[in-house]
Chain A
Amino acid sequence: MRKIIAPALGLLLLLAWPFIAEKIGAPALITLFTRMMILGLAASALNIALGFGGLVSLGHAAFYGIGAYAIGISTTHAISGAPFLGLLPGSDQLLVNLLVAMLVSGFASAIIGALALRTSGIQFIMITLAFAQMLFFLFLALKAYGGDDGLTMRRRNGLFDLNMRDDATFFYVTLGFLLVWLAVCARVLHSRFGLLLGGIRQNERRMQAIGVNTFRVKWIAFIISGMGAGLAGGLMANLGRFVSPDLMHWTTSGELLIMCVLGGSGTIIGPVLGAFALIGLEATLNTWTEHWQAILGPLLVLMVLAFKGGLARIGGDKP
């Protein structure tokens, strides 16, 4: 019963949040919660590789950043009217741009995954980190799209006739995408593919011995994971109307990993809870002291020790 009630209450709270934030005179909390949901989506995307597949990637910020840049670049070209590379017209429509963001991130994760998945363990961590840093420096040097200054989007992408300038509207749009993404994750986890992926995480040798092409299963999981990170990056670009290479920095990958571990990797809702907990703590401690990181670090260690298996498993719940 708790498995239904807790998420239902959480969803109700989220649905009411823009009204609550306006009522208590803190509209900035709407944007803060939108950011939490987007990072929750990114962490949940990483969780497909990490929690379901056992692939500890320290390079998912690359796919997150690529998704953001895909939207930033497409929107810039749509507004200027000049086609991208003289061929492709830009778009300022959210659905089109998010699709592009996911496809480009998926393509990048397919290439990086095809190379990185030939390794395992610490080598896999290092090679994903290396690719992400390579892309970070590439976008840092990309002066045509702002270089290290980043790229400003004049306005958010449009979606039907909704007023996307309104933070509350964008909050609900983000919530919609998060719910759809979590439904996709649940579908993946409980599918044939999910069973095989979980088997590989537990014992790859056994899965090879029953005839599973483990490389292909892991590769597909890595691509889905990269596409999800791209989707989150695209939403983040719209939220702040700004993209910069910082989105691709390795510390972003580290934060996504922390969210997964804190919330419970291998669970559907865990990474989202982890994102809310981490960003919430950051935002709260930040108002108390400028040395907030000195408090956050030990606090995270204590939380991980206290909630073994993550926040989603409090009370011994399984995914």
Chain B
Amino acid sequence: MSALLVLDDLTKNFGGLRVTDHVCLDLRAGEVHALIGPNGAGKTTLISQIMGEITPESGSIRLDGIDMGKLSQAQRVRRGLARTFQVPQVLGEYSARENVVAALYARGASADEATQHLARANMEARADVRVSDLSHGERKQLELAIALATRPRMLLLDEPMAGLGPVESAQMIAILQGLRGDMAMLLVEHDMKAVFALADRISVLVYGAIIASGTPDEIQNDPRVREAYLGTGED
């Protein structure tokens, strides 16, 4: 598979704190690439840089060979980048359908498409419910439907399992499995069950730097990853 999204030597500091440390990452078309790491490792910040919400100090972000560095967030979305948020960012006064329609209007599409995107996120039965009346899990699913309505080639998922119970998590994993192959996904996640169920490859981010990349088996057996997560035991 060819690389769809390439991060090259990406670096970002917040004051004296380096949150992204010379990150190099290539995400292939159609694959699910998980990005794991302890809290505060800089995973969400990396997503925000890819989307253009935060500007990196150096390095480049290329989607299909095109430099995203000078593009606005709206232009990046039009080129095929989409994201979800750890805390769902939805439009509380609108219905679930209107939330999806807003994304369709943003790319000049017809509202008729909304049902198909809601169905892919298993939300068609709740389409006309006001978002303020949806549960946390439903909002997570709605966020996914909103992102799908932008027709992404690269979907950046920021902790889609956060705050979900076991049943909802299983449902979310099944939904994401259903999307596999239609687009590439960068999955930032703490839930290792979900990571190992979904990921083709895994990268580990610690203190803003990638310390390991490989298949799930390779990562599971990597001593650097064990050390980062469990410590050396020498203290």
A residues with CB within 8 A of B: 192, 195-196, 198-199, 202-203, 205-213
B residues with CB within 8 A of A: 51, 53, 72-74, 76-78, 82-83, 85, 89-94, 98, 101-103, 105-107, 146-147, 149-150
Chain A's closest residue to B88 (CB) is A206
Contacting residue for B89 out of A195, A209, A212, CB 8 A: A209
Contacting residue for A211 out of B53, B90, B101, B150, CB 8 A: B150
Contact B91 A213 (CB under 8 A): no
A199-B91, A210-B77, A210-B102 known, 20 other contacts, Cβ within 8 Å: A196-B105, A196-B106, A199-B102, A202-B92, A202-B93, A202-B94, A203-B90, A205-B89, A208-B53, A209-B77, A209-B82, A209-B85, A209-B89, A210-B103, A210-B106, A210-B147, A211-B74, A211-B76, A213-B72, A213-B74
How close is A22's CB to chain B, nearest CB, in angstroms? 45
Chain B's closest residue to A217 (CB) is B106
Chain A's closest residue to B93 (CB) is A202
Contact A209 B101 (CB under 8 A): no
How close is A190's CB to chain B, nearest CB, in angstroms? 12
The CB with the most chain A CB atoms within 10 A, among B93, B102, B107, is that of B102
Contact A202 B91 (CB under 8 A): yes
Q: Please list the 6 inter-chain residue pairs (A to B) with the smallest Cβ-Cβ separation, ordered nearest first.
A: A211-B77, A206-B89, A210-B103, A202-B91, A192-B105, A211-B74
CB-CB < 8 A to B53: which residues of A? 208
CB-CB < 8 A to B74: which residues of A? 208, 211-213
CB-CB < 8 A to A192: which residues of B? 105
CA A277 to CA B190, docked complex, whole Å: 56
How close is B198's CB to chain A, nearest CB, in angstroms? 22
CA A13 to CA B97, docked complex, whole Å: 39
Chain A's closest residue to B83 (CB) is A209
CB-CB < 8 A to A195: which residues of B? 94, 98, 101-102, 105
Chain B's closest residue to A202 (CB) is B91
CA A196 to CA B107, docked complex, whole Å: 11
Contact B51 A209 (CB under 8 A): yes
CA A78 to CA B28, docked complex, whole Å: 70
CB-CB < 8 A to A211: which residues of B? 73-74, 76-78, 103, 106-107, 150
Sample (30) of A-B pairs whose CB atoms are under 8 Å apart: A195-B94, A195-B98, A195-B101, A195-B105, A196-B105, A198-B91, A198-B94, A199-B102, A202-B91, A202-B92, A203-B92, A205-B89, A206-B91, A206-B146, A208-B74, A209-B73, A209-B77, A209-B85, A210-B77, A210-B82, A210-B102, A210-B103, A210-B106, A210-B147, A210-B150, A211-B74, A211-B77, A211-B78, A211-B106, A212-B102
CB-CB < 8 A to A208: which residues of B? 53, 73-74
Chain A's closest residue to B102 (CB) is A199
How close is A224's CB to chain B, nearest CB, in angstroms? 18
CA A213 to CA B78, docked complex, whole Å: 11
CB-CB < 8 A to B89: which residues of A? 203, 205-206, 209
Contact B91 A210 (CB under 8 A): no
Contact A210 B93 (CB under 8 A): no
Chain B's closest residue to A193 (CB) is B105
CA A212 to CA B101, docked complex, whole Å: 12
CB-CB < 8 A to B82: which residues of A? 209-210
CB-CB < 8 A to B106: which residues of A? 196, 207, 210-212
How close is A212's CB to chain B, nearest CB, in angstroms? 5
Q: Quick one: given A196-B106, A209-B77, are A203 and B150 in contact (CB under 8 Å)? A: no
Chain A's closest residue to B90 (CB) is A206
The CB with the most chain B CB atoms within 10 A, among A192, A207, A209, is that of A209
How close is B55's CB to chain A, nearest CB, in angstroms? 14
The CB with the most chain B CB atoms within 10 A, among A198, A207, A210, is that of A210
CA A213 to CA B74, docked complex, whole Å: 6
Chain B's closest residue to A213 (CB) is B74
Contact B94 A199 (CB under 8 A): yes
CB-CB < 8 A to A199: which residues of B? 91, 94, 102
How close is A189's CB to chain B, nearest CB, in angstroms? 13
CB-CB < 8 A to A209: which residues of B? 51, 73, 77, 82-83, 85, 89
Chain A's closest residue to B98 (CB) is A195
